[in-house]
């Protein structure tokens, strides 16, 4: 394990302890620490799961069960940008299938895949609760609203 | 017909999300007042106001608070449900971003009423901007000594799972587990987060509490119907001219909401159907919209007020296709704990998709209705009943549209 490079910095370890102290049971900080881990290591590999489990004195099996339950945790490497197109009802009514088809064609990948250059991961997701601006998508941290194929082009081409 | 803006009154004020801006608008005055009230008096006032939960279930708020065992010694927790995820709903996003201090003020008053010293705000993981805004407000409140003197607040980010909006699933998730709902009883008010009595309330519900205290229970109750006080924020989307949030008394009719506030129907301009309370609410036909939007009004109409997410469909919308999208959602989001929910949601989605793709069989519709009904009411949480609502109502009310897709 020690050769793997999966370790937090001393500052991050202090933050882990601070987070754990906020909850009546330190385990409450598991989701926040997994968010931190994903930001640091890119995705949550089995190694990362084991490392985090150690920080909480939990079994790796417990952490694995948690990681696999939530859609925002990635078990495999993802692209530099994650594009999540909402395909729930209001977005569907406003043309989400067209937006998805456009992105599939533009990026040359299917939903759930990552481009060969590892720049983009394309996902179809459930309601992101911005239905008044349908169709919409999330690109990394940002909500992109009132989409048209042209707008999608501008957004994607503007990404670093 | 105009809005009645109480929660949303300051939404257009640029500085309303900052402590300074909020104070200039009279913020934290209700908290001042509540500090001079006995906890029991706050609970009584909220009971009299007829405030009912705005997260989905519509349970009377003051009554819920009074379920904390009287003889309990030890910690009590307040948990704010900001996991907004019900398709068609987006009001809590606005509340967190535009007036975060309103929620903090509601938490302070509520915590006093239920004697909680620690509160958690569970914000859905995708809501990054709302999370930043709300966290900044919490820091301001700590720096000003509003928090940290009797009430501590922990802002907690979810990680993507609709089921964590269900209060016991949310508690499981907050405890560092997968978001599996738990059998009730025990109810969270008796045994909730980390084993302690816990009150779970929706963002909007708690944002109303300062108004109940400041304006008084009678005023608040008088805004609504006999059994539900106040206003609520309706999220309107789909085929309407002006999609967005609209605050109105709960006694507004669906017709007025769609035509007067949201500007009427787009597409063909002719209404076909409306989902009145988020995707779990049974669908209403165009001739069923003269119904009031309060919890009891919509229940009497065979639907539910739910989260007040209103999704409008004009005549060009294919109801079978809409059900396919809705069914895909429930199939994806079932937590898998209960057999009927896990099996039926997947199976019904595949059946509806088959029909939409022109490969259905004559007996399929009755089979779906039969399967859906058999599991209803038997599961650990209300998720499955929320899926059954659309399955049955879409098919029963628009059966001819489904039949037209089935090859003879
Ligand atoms: C499947 C399911 C999803 C739910 N999602 C939410 C949600 O996103 N936000 C929310 O406040 N309540 C949601 N609820 C309702 C909660 O279980 C709970 O009733 C509510 O948070 C209580 O707060 P209130 O009384 O203030 O409404 C959901 C319920 C179910 C069954
Ligand atoms: S009803 Fe469905 S979502 Fe709810 S606990 Fe059972 S399997 Fe999970
Ligand atoms: S349906 Fe896409 S944001 Fe709600």
For tokens 């958690």, name the residue.
Answer: B120
Q: How many whole angstroms separate alpha carbon B172 and alpha carbon B122?
A: 12
pLDDT at B141 over 90: yes
pLDDT in tens, A94-150: 999 999 999 999 999 999 999 999 999 999 999 999 999 999 999 999 999 999 999
pLDDT band at B242 (very low <50, low <70, confident <90, very high): very high
Residues contacting A28, CB < 8 A, separation 6+: A20, A22, B156, B174, B175, B176, B194
At B136 the pLDDT is 98
pLDDT in tens, B162-210: 999 999 999 999 999 999 999 999 999 999 999 999 999 999 999 999 9
pTM: 0.98
At A5 the pLDDT is 82
Longest dimension (CA), chain A: 51
Nearest-by-Cβ selection for A126 from B156, B162, B176: B162
pLDDT band at A69 (very low <50, low <70, confident <90, very high): very high
Structure tokens at B315: 């005549």
Q: If contacts are CB pairs under 8 Å, which of residues 112-131 in chain B contact chain A?
A: 118, 124-129
Assess B270–A contact: CB distance below 8 Å, yes or no: no
State the average pLDDT over residues B60-66: 98
pLDDT at B253 over 70: yes
Determine which of A35, A67, A129 to mutate to test the interface with B (most B C-beta atoms within 10 Å). A129
- Lay out the sheet containing B231-238: strands in order across: B244-249, B231-238, B309-314, B271-275, B284-285
Q: If contacts are CB pairs under 8 Å, which of residues 211-240 in chain B contact chain A?
A: 235-239
Mean pLDDT, rounded, of chain B: 98
Task: Decide: A94 in ligand 3 pocket, CB within 6 A.
Answer: no
pLDDT band at A1 (very low <50, low <70, confident <90, very high): very low
Q: In this structure, which residue's CA is closest to atom 4 in ligand 2?
A: B381
Determine which of B126, B244, B329 to mutate to test the interface with A (most A C-beta atoms within 10 Å). B126
Residues of chain A contacting B261 with CB distance shorter than 8 Å: none
Task: Decide: A136 in ligand 3 pocket, CB within 6 A.
Answer: yes
At A4 the pLDDT is 62
Nearest-by-Cβ selection for B90 from A24, A66, A132: A132
B73 CB burial (10 A radius; 0-12, 13-18, 19+):
exposed
DSSP codes, B162-219: GGGGSHHHHHHHHTTS------SSSPTTTS-GGGS-EEEEEHHHHHHHHHHHHH-HHH
Helix (H, G, I), strand (E, B) or coil at B69: coil
At B408 the pLDDT is 87
At A106 the pLDDT is 98
pLDDT in tens, B327-375: 999 999 999 999 999 999 999 999 999 999 999 999 999 999 999 999 8
pLDDT in tens, A13-47: 999 999 999 999 999 999 999 999 999 999 999 99
- Percent of chain A that is helix, strand, coil (3-state, to 5): 50, 10, 40
Contact B237 A90 (CB under 8 A): yes
């Amino acid at each position: 394990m020690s050769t793997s490079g999966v370790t937090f910095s001393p500052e991050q370890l202090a933050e882990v302890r601070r987070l754990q102290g906020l909850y009546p049971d330190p385990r409450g900080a598991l989701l926040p620490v997994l968010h931190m881990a994903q930001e640091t290591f890119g995705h949550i590999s089995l190694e990362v799961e084991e490392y985090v489990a150690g920080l909480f004195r939990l079994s790796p099996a417990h952490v694995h069960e948690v990681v696999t339950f939530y859609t925002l945790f990635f078990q495999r490497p993802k692209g530099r940008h994650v594009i999540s197109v909402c395909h729930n009802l209001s977005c569907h009514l406003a043309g989400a299938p067209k937006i998805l088809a456009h992105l599939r064609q533009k990026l040359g990948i299917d939903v759930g895949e990552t481009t060969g250059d590892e720049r983009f991961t394309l996902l179809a997701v459930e309601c992101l609760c911005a239905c008044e601006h349908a169709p919409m998508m999330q690109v990394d941290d940002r909500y992109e609203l009132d989409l048209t194929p042209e707008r999608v082009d501008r957004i994607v081409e503007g990404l670093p | 017909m105009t809005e009645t803006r109480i929660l949303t009154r300051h939404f257009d004020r640029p500085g309303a999300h900052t402590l300074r801006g909020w104070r200039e608008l009279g913020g934290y005055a209700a908290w001042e007042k509540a500090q001079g009230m006995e906890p029991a008096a706050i609970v009584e006032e909220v009971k009299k106001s007829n405030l009912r939960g705005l997260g989905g279930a519509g349970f009377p708020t003051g009554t819920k608070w009074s379920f904390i065992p009287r003889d309990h010694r030890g910690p009590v927790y307040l948990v704010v449900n900001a996991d907004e995820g019900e398709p068609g709903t987006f009001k809590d996003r606005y509340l967190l971003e535009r007036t975060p201090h309103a929620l903090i003020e509601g938490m302070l008053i509520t915590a006093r009423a239920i004697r909680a010293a620690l509160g958690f705000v569970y914000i859905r993981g995708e809501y990054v901007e709302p999370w930043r805004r709300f966290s900044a407000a919490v820091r301001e409140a700590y720096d000003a000594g509003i928090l940290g003197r009797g009430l501590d607040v922990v802002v907690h980010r979810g990680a993507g799972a609709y089921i964590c909006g269900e209060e016991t699933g949310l508690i499981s998730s907050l405890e560092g587990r997968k978001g599996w709902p738990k059998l009730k009883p025990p109810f969270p008010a008796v045994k909730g987060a980390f084993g302690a009595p816990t009150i779970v309330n929706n963002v909007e519900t708690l944002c109303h509490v300062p108004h109940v205290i400041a304006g008084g229970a009678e005023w608040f109750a008088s805004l609504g119907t006999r059994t539900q006080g106040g206003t609520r924020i309706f999220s309107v989307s789909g085929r309407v001219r002006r999609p967005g949030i609209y605050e109105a008394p709960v006694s507004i009719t669906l017709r007025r909401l769609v035509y007067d506030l949201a500007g009427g129907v787009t597409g063909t301009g002719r209404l076909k159907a409306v989902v009145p309370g988020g995707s779990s609410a049974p669908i209403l036909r165009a001739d069923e919209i003269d119904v009031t939007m309060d919890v009891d009004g919509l229940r009497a109409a065979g639907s539910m007020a739910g989260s007040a997410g209103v999704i409008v469909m004009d005549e060009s919308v294919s109801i079978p296709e809409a059900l396919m999208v809705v069914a895909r959602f429930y199939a994806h989001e079932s937590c898998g704990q209960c057999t009927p929910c896990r099996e039926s949601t997947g199976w019904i989605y595949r059946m509806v998709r088959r029909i939409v793709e022109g490969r259905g069989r004559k007996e399929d519709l009755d089979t779906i209705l039969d399967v859906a009904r058999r599991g209803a009411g038997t599961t650990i949480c209300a998720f499955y009943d929320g899926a059954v609502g659309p399955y049955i109502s879409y098919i029963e009310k628009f059966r001819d549209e489904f039949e037209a897709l089935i090859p003879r």
